[in-house]
Chain A
Amino acid sequence: MNTRGLRSQLKDSVPVAGLCPQGAYGVQDSLRSGFTSVKNELLPSHPLELSEKNFMLNQDKMNFSSLRNIQGLHAPLKLQMEYRAARQIQRLPFLQSSNLALDTLRGNDESIGFEDILNDPTQSEMMGEPHMMVEYKLGLM
């Protein structure tokens, strides 16, 4: 099963500020990510932080590989194509999308978990600045 696509997305560490800077030209982007502190970023602060970050990806990986074993290679390939298409349905950069198609494909529309109760992105107190976010999206900044 070609999970290279999924595997490359799995994060096995929290982003390290010093080692792989997110800014352009490989320099630490102090404006956005703040000051560097290797101790701060190198290790996850909570035992669940990493596993929660990767949870959806791990679930997908598990489901796709069992689907491949049951139905053959075509099944996960077709599903991944649909996932990719559904993931592209988004709104403008600073608006929260409901991800309805993606949720339906995953089966999340039929269950309630902590993602729906806690920290609802549609009700977050902070709003991103539209101009900054569009520039970031287009790579101008």
Chain B
Amino acid sequence: MLHSAKPCEIQTGGFCFENTRRNAVLESSLSESGYKAPGARKTGTTIAGIVFKDGVILGADTRATDDMVVADKNCVKIHFIAPNIYCCGAGVAADADVTTQIMSSNVELHMLNTGRPALVTMVTRQLKQMLFRYQGQIGASLIVGGVDVTGPQLYSVYPHGSYDKLPFLTMGSGAAAAVSVFEDRFKPNMELEEAKQLVREAITAGIFCDLGSGSNVDLCVITEAGVEMLRGYDKPATKGKREGQYRYKPGTTAVLTKTVTPFPLVVVDESVQIMDTE
């Protein structure tokens, strides 16, 4: 029903709940006929982070799933927040993207306001306050890592607003597989190469042991000197080469009869679209 009284009130921006009742009715009527309402695309992820001697390493896989279908084979899950702070996002893909973009803008405004470089605790605090305000309806689980004046830090923020500060963290559907690797081989104050290998192995464990994670391993190394973004650091899931030929040679089956019917077709338009078979 068009609420014509609404324009007379002061309009504010933000979320609008006008359609929730209609959506609830639509969903119930759809489920009666056996159809499912379209769901939000989740990332079905493995994300991980560790603190090593000089800084923080964040790692993520690159698969985005839409229920049981892979929606994106090579998406980016490590988002920029500040020059010294990066954030991995799991959960609903759109929520994680928009949340990290809002955080990045807020951090930039804050830095311009105070004239100081951003702190990782500031990002975590703003994130958890925002996620708590929306009571978990924004389904974004994030790992925030960075190096600031107080040193390298790693925080994880859950969709309802709780957070943890730990030397190693994993989140997403492949978190259990990845954290088992960390629990086994993590040592405090590791060297850079050792730490990179450990994160790579943890994400690879998530890729192979979890259906929702796959494709490549992305790494992001943050130190005081700067940030190194290693996209596609490792591709453990590439297709192998086929060893044998499975086609039959022409002439294997005898031809009994042959009828040729010519179709007079004219080529109107030709366009080539390359399929991404990697």
Contact = CB atoms under 8 A, between A and B. Distances in A.
- Do A and B associate with each other? yes
Contacts of B109: 110-112
B134 interface: yes
B135 A31 contact: no
B133 A121 contact: no
B101 to A, nearest CB: 9
B17 A114 contact: no
Contacts of A126: 7
B1 A113 contact: no
A48 B15 contact: yes
B106 A29 contact: no
Interface residues of B, number: 29
A4 interface: no
B8 interface: yes
Contacts of A32: 3-5, 8
Contacts of A112: 102, 105-106, 109
A119 B113 contact: no
Given A46-B20, A110-B113, A113-B130, A121 B106 contact: no
- Chain A, interface size category, equals 35 or more
B102 A117 contact: yes
A84 interface: no
Interface string B250-272: 00000000000000000000000
Interface string B228-256: 00000000000000000000000000000
B12 interface: yes
Nearest to A135: B8
A115 B14 contact: yes
Nearest to A96: B11
Interface in A55-96: 55, 93-94, 96
A29 B14 contact: no
Interface in B1-51: 1-5, 7-8, 11-17, 20-21, 24
Nearest to B109: A110
A95 to B, nearest CB: 11
B7 A133 contact: yes
Given A33-B3, A45-B24, A112-B105, A120 B13 contact: yes
A97 to B, nearest CB: 9
A94 B13 CA distance: 16
A34 B3 contact: yes
Interface in A114-141: 114-121, 124, 126-129, 132-133, 136-137
A33 B11 contact: no
Nearest to A134: B8
A47 interface: yes
Contacts of A127: 7
A31 B4 contact: yes
B180 interface: no
Given A48-B134, A51-B135, A112-B105, A119 B7 contact: no
A47 B102 contact: no
A119 B3 CA distance: 16
A118 B135 contact: no
B14 A52 contact: yes
Contacts of B3: 32-34
7 contacts: A32-B5, A32-B8, A40-B21, A112-B106, A115-B12, A117-B98, A128-B8
Q: Give me the 3 closest cross-chain CB pairs, A-B, nearest first.
A: A128-B7, A32-B5, A121-B11
Interface of B: 1-5, 7-8, 11-17, 20-21, 24, 98, 102, 105-106, 109-110, 113, 130, 133-135, 137
Given A47-B135, A124-B11, 11 more contacts: A33-B3, A45-B21, A48-B17, A49-B20, A52-B14, A111-B106, A111-B110, A113-B102, A115-B12, A117-B98, A119-B16
